[in-house]
Structure formats: C-alpha cells, structure tokens
Amino acid sequence: AQTVTQSQPEMSVQEAETVTLSCTYDTSESDYYLFWYKQPPSRQMILVIRQEAYKQQNATENRFSVNFQKAAKSFSLKISDSQLGDAAMYFCAYNDYKLSFGAGTTVTVRA
C-alpha cells in the first residue's frame, strides 16, 4: 500500500496571508496522480488541485498552487490570500491503483 504523510495536524493562518501544507508520499511508481482535497465542516469533499506525476510544471488553481518535488516525493499546497471560506480539513491523496489519503491537516483562518 502507498503511504501518504501529512505531518501537520493543524495550521492557523491570518486572513489574507499565505499558508503552506506539507505532504510526502512513498511510491516506487513513476506514473501517478496527486491530489489535494478540501473538506469543510459541511463535510463535502471537494477537489482543490491535481498534479500528474509526468508533468514537471506545478499545478495552479487560482489562489491554490502546489510545489511538486518528484525526486523528494513531496507535494505541498500553498494557499495564498487566505479567506475565511478556506477553513477546512485538507487531505493530500495519491492515486495509481486506488486513492490513498494522508491523515489530514485542519486549517483555521483568523479574521
């Protein structure tokens, strides 16, 4: 089974500031996908961003961007200009055969 590690159980960020969530994974595969999902207290799991391992360019979606370091097996998420609506649990996930999730990071946004 693939291992996904999120070492930060909780992160706090001031509104309008930037926060970075870390994620590392373990795999012997060369072709896989990586994801960040967001789950607000209302519970729906929403896709934030996706990275395909064969693409060297880091994915970006509006205020969300990733730093994908394939050799280091690292996949961090940067949230810029944080908003109150960004408060949620964020899960890093790896998918080659099936989806493996990290333990999650709870992000709180201070007004």
- Upper half-sphere CA count for residue 108 (Cβ side, 13 Å): 6
Q: Does 62 bind other proteins (CB under 8 A)?
A: no
CB closer to other proteins out of 92 and 109: 92
- Minimum CB separation of residue 20 from other proteins in Å reads 20
| Spatial separation of the C-alpha atoms in residues 72 and 37, rounded to whole Å | 21
Q: Does 64 bind other proteins (CB under 8 A)?
A: no
Interface residues toward other proteins, by CB under 8 A: 31-33, 35, 37, 42-47, 50, 52, 89, 91, 95-99, 101-104, 106
